[in-house]
Homo-oligomer: A and B are copies of this chain.
Amino acid sequence: MLVAMVAVSAQPRECSVARTLEIVGEKWALLAVREVFLGNGRFDEMVRRTGAPRDTMAARLRVLVGSGILERRQYSAHPVRFEYHLTDAGRDLYPVILTLMRWGDRHLAGPAGPPLELEHRCGHPLSAQLVCEACGDPVVIGETRAVRNR
């Protein structure tokens, strides 16, 4: 007679990374957000500048709106037309986009250099780094450790 006595080994982690990726963990979703950051909130334009299938873009936008990252706002009645804007939560994704961009700039840029360069308001080309809010030092892997792990 067998009894199930072995505690089933670890379930998938509860994790903010995983949760976030449930919403934006897909190419077209993040590229849609990138477009809005660059000032394009119009459907057709987003499709053109990302290369996403119209169908897929429509689906992603529904999710992004549904999870409070974008807002669908009417900018014209007669003909009724909409455009997408960032919410506060959406604006908080800026660091995600920037760190992705930085990685690509470093590791995937050809000899011609990165295709898009940003300039900070301080006048220097933007090269953003992650620092600890408390001590101001750059955050380096190996210098952090898990404190609570539910």
Contact = CB atoms under 8 A, between A and B. Distances in A.
Contacts of A10: 48-49
Given A92-B107, A107-B92, A115-B15, A130 B132 contact: no
B94 A148 contact: no
A78 interface: no
A90 to B, nearest CB: 10
Given A12-B48, A96-B103, A108-B19, A146 B118 contact: yes
Nearest to A23: B108
Interface residue tally of chain A, by bracket? 35 or more
Contacts of A16: 100-105, 108-109, 114-116
- Taken together, the copies of this chain in the complex come to 2
B144 A104 contact: no
B95 A120 contact: no
A118 B130 contact: no
A58 interface: no
14 contacts: A12-B51, A14-B116, A16-B105, A17-B97, A17-B101, A18-B104, A26-B26, A38-B146, A86-B141, A89-B107, A115-B150, A119-B144, A128-B133, A128-B139
Given A19-B108, A68-B107, 18 more contacts: A11-B48, A12-B48, A16-B105, A25-B26, A26-B26, A91-B141, A94-B139, A94-B140, A96-B96, A98-B99, A99-B99, A115-B150, A116-B150, A118-B147, A120-B134, A124-B132, A124-B134, A129-B130
